[in-house]
Amino acid sequence: MARQEGKPVEWKGRTDGLPWMIRSLVAVMRVLDRRAIYLVMALIVPFYMIFNHKGYKAIYRFFRQRLGLGPLKSFLKVYANHFRFGQVIVDRYAAFAGKRFRFAFDGNDMFLAMLNEPGGFVQLSSHIGNYEMVGYSLTSTTKKINGLFYGGESEVMMEFRRKILSMHNIGLIEVNGSMEHIFQMNAAIDRGEIVSMTGDRMLGSPKSFRCQFMGADANFPMGPFALAVQKEVPIVAVFCMRGKWGVYNVYVRKITAAPGLPPRASMQDMAQKFAAELESIVRLYPTQWFNYYDFWNA
Amino acid sequence: MERSEIEAKVRKFMIEDLEIDEEKITPDAHLMKDMGIDSLDFIDIVVIVEKTFGVKIKSEEMAGVDTFSKFCDYLEKKIG
């Protein structure tokens, strides 16, 4: 692993769709069973695969190169991946519309124990499964969760998010090109709160670590690991994966650095441990890998 | 704390913790444009300053603090 600087892909974090489309979709979700939308989606997915060719190629390569599947199996898995991605988006809008979901937890006792400790921590999710559902499932009444979000997101999406997140003791910290979010994250940890962000894409800084992931090196952002090491707090990795019958399986894993390492080495150590946890979940749910670009060469 | 001591400590953590080349650290060097400091480095700066000097950097006080020299001025004033 090494510290990398350059021009890796930085997440712009903007949801497609005009405000009226987003509002209409939420309104439809209030009255329609989401399974009906899944059915329509199954027919639309092949067209999406054709027109979103860049994303199709990235996921096809993921199945071929990272998981070693044959051409036909990879093609079918790409279909399954796109369908799953659609389901996850539909579920997100269903959550905005007030629909309830069932969750099964793995590691929740550890999370609850950490909530009762005085210090704060960094909560890391990633672009697999339905990471936004993490905010609706792992809630805390004792510690406020501060979610980092990209300031370029559409106002209507933010309006829905704020509404639902405020019900779960979650506030938002905007990343908008200034340094303000750094001070807000620092203050939140000082107050013993949780700072939540994604650990697989650059947000705010292009600096990264090269980590071994799925058989090759890939860039992971330095930010979350720098925050945890400098503030001397642990990281909790949370993955929210869509399971059978619409149940979301939530995996919670604590990540700490090996003792006695200097700061940069501690950050690298935590980044590699996060990559290893991410890999173990991706291998369990390969069709829920939603990074639609060449992750390993970004 | 003497101004020279503040400067030496800032220079030291910028070289050791932020991995900035020593020759880039001059009094008029722009923190972002010349020294390459970005938001990630600011996480380090905020925490290291707190640990080293016992003062909290506040975002509203940082307006106009854009060079190495101005940053040391700011700390000198803060430490008082």
- What is the count of structural domains for chain A? 2
* A179/B44 CB distance under 8 A: no
* Topology of domain B3-79, CATH: 1.10.1200
List, for residues A84-100, the tens digit of each pLDDT value: 999 998 998 888 888 88
Q: Are residues A155 and A31 in the same domain?
A: no
Q: Which 8-state DSSP code applies to residue A247?
A: P
* B43/A207 CB distance under 8 A: no
Give CA–CA dist A55/A61, Å, rounded.
Answer: 10
Half-sphere exposure of A268 (CA within 13 A, CB side): 13
Angle between helices A34-51 and A71-96 (to 10 degrees): 130
Q: Are residues A178 and A279 in the same domain?
A: yes
A45 CB-near residues (< 8 Å, 6+ apart): A79, A82, A83, A86
- Mean pLDDT of the A45-56 span: 88
A94 CB-near residues (< 8 Å, 6+ apart): A29, A34, A101
List, for residues B45-57, the tens digit of each pLDDT value: 999 999 999 999 9
Q: Are residues A216 and A289 in the same domain?
A: yes
Q: Are residues A240 and A257 in the same domain?
A: yes
- Tell me the residues of B at the A interface, defined by beta carbons under 8 Å apart: 17, 19, 36, 38-44, 46-48, 57-59, 62
Residues of A in contact with B39 (CB under 8 A): 175, 179, 181-182, 204-205, 223
Residues of B in contact with A186 (CB under 8 A): 43, 46-47
B64 CB-near residues (< 8 Å, 6+ apart): B70
User: Best mutation site among A183, A207, A209, A222 for testing chain B: the one with the most B CBs within 10 Å?
Assistant: A183
Give CA–CA dist A251/A123, Å, rounded.
Answer: 12
Q: Which residue has the higher pLDDT, A278 or A168?
A: A278
Domain boundary among A49, A71, A96: A96
Range of the domain at A207: 3-12+101-297
* A226/B44 CB distance under 8 A: yes
Report CA-CA distances (Å) from A186 to A52, A154, B42, B44. 39, 26, 10, 10
ipTM, two decimals = 0.76
List, for residues A140-174, the tens digit of each pLDDT value: 778 899 988 876 667 777 777 777 777 778 888 88
Q: Are residues A59 and A136 in the same domain?
A: no
Give CA–CA dist A241/A152, Å, rounded.
Answer: 26
* A263/B40 CB distance under 8 A: no
Place of tokens 């509203």: B60
Give CA–CA dist A124/A197, Å, rounded.
Answer: 5
Partner B contacted by A4 (CB < 8 A) = no
Nearest Cβ partner of A226 from B36, B43, B57?
A: B43
Give CA–CA dist A10/A21, Å, rounded.
Answer: 26
List, for residues A211-257, the tens digit of each pLDDT value: 999 999 999 999 899 999 989 999 999 999 999 888 999 999 999 99
